[in-house]
Amino acid sequence: MNELFVIAGHFIDPKTIENIAPLGNGLINDTYKIMVGGEPKYVLQRINNAVFTDVDMLQNNIEAVTNHIRQKYENQGVRDINRRVLHFLKADTGKTYVFENEKYWRVMDFIADSYTYEAVTPEYAYYAGRSFGDFESLLTDLNATIGEIIPDFHNIEFRLKQMEDAVAEDRVGQMREVEVQKLVDKIRAVADEMCLGERLHREGKLPKRICHCDTKVNNMLFDKDGNVLCVIDLDTVMPSFVFSDFGDFLRSAANTGAEDDPDLDNIHFNMEIFKTFAKGYLEGSQSFLLPIEKENLPYAATLFPYMQAVRFLTDYINGSIYYKIKYATHNLVRTRAQWKLYEEAVACLPEMKRLLDH
């Protein structure tokens, strides 16, 4: 029997499975849909344990978060809860994951009649803003400890240090490329100002909250009418600055091009998306958001393309060992695109600040 069927058999009756097929396009985990009765019924995922080294902590985090949200929705009488929050199945081991042939796997219910998008309209961005604000808001009173599953995940000082280490080691000789050197120089030139968030945190002015930390557009499920059902891909839920969720959503949604667009002319920062997303986010987060968090949301919109450029470039210099790539220079192309987006976002800063002041 096919390996995937054997794995799925730890969670569900394998005789009911008709087919298992790839799903989505994440850069880290491998995801499949399990077909039962002509419909996708479950999602099977191989957890990339080179990235998520503590799978037990990972699944504990996710269970704490999903149970908390489910409980709140039940108390609020929210309808259709099974489509509003993810549900992970217990395996025959009693855990929500199995370890087999050196690999970790988990299964969750497939949310019926749901859609993901790579791009959104301003209207959908408004709903997305509400959802991420609501998501953080729902988690403000979560008492369980949520471990920092990837330490320093969105710590830009740490990401810059990783880049400097990669440059110094230059293990595959990429630093011979003039373009790579230039990108490194451009990143260094603004590094100090981009580390603002970490400084504010050290000064005790900026808190960490439980955030989603991977708010790409395609990590959100919509129903056929465009209503947000729920946020998915909860692997990186951890304490972070609210900048993470605000900035990373705009990094994908406000980009008029693709994350890895080879044509830089396609890449601009869409202020219409910023406007509606910010409106939704401010509504969803109003019960907890501090002035220092609000006033630095424009900075967050520039920080995430910047951080992603640093991360893609670091991986390129390291020989592309972290992100899945489709061709040899993919991470370099991604870096160029994220750098362009960063510059476009910086040009929009005055307009962003003006909008938030109103």
Strands 103-109, 39-47: pairing kind? antiparallel
Quick one: 130 or 334, whose CB is closer to ligand GN1? 334
Query: Nearest approach, Cβ of 110 to ligand GN1 (angstroms)?
Result: 18
Quick one: 317 or 337, whose CB is closer to Mg ion? 337
Quick one: 19 or 256, whose CB is closer to ligand GN1? 256
- Footprint of ligand GN1 on residues 239-298 (CB under 6 A)? 259
- Footprint of Mg ion on residues 20-79 (CB under 5 A)? 26
Q: Which one among 214, 245, 261, 293 touches ligand GN1, defined by CB under 6 A?
A: 214
Distance, in Å, from the CA atom of 213 to the CA atom of 34, rounded to the nearest integer, reads 27
Query: Nearest approach, Cβ of 259 to ligand GN1 (angstroms)?
Result: 6
Our finding on whether 61 is near ligand GN1 (CB under 6 A) is no
Our finding on whether 51 is near ligand GN1 (CB under 6 A) is yes
Q: Which one among 120, 138, 163, 233 touches Mg ion, defined by CB under 5 A?
A: 233
Quick one: 17 or 131, whose CB is closer to ligand GN1? 131
Structure tokens at 282: 């401010």
Distance, in Å, from the CA atom of 63 to the CA atom of 79, rounded to the nearest integer, reads 21
Q: Which of 106, 138, 103 is nearest to 245 (CA)?
A: 138
Structure tokens at 50: 């080179």
Quick one: 235 or 261, whose CB is closer to Mg ion? 235
Q: Which residues contact 58 (CB under 8 A, 6 or more apart)?
A: 47, 52, 149, 235
Structure tokens at 226: 């465009």
What are 17-23's contacts with CB under 8 Å, separation 24+?
Answer: 20/44
Distance, in Å, from the CA atom of 148 to the CA atom of 165, rounded to the nearest integer, reads 22
Quick one: 26 or 207, whose CB is closer to Mg ion? 26
* Dihedral angle computed from the Cα positions of residues 301, 303, 305 and 310, in that order, rounded to the nearest 10 degrees: 180
- Footprint of ligand GN1 on residues 15-44 (CB under 6 A)? 26-28
The interface mask with Mg ion, positions 270-299, x = CB under 5 A, is ------------------------------
Tally of CA atoms within 13 A in the half-sphere of 125 that contains its CB: 25
Binding site for Mg ion (CB under 5 A): 26, 219, 233
Q: Which residues bind ligand GN1 (CB under 6 A)?
A: 26-28, 51, 214, 216, 219, 233, 236, 259, 308
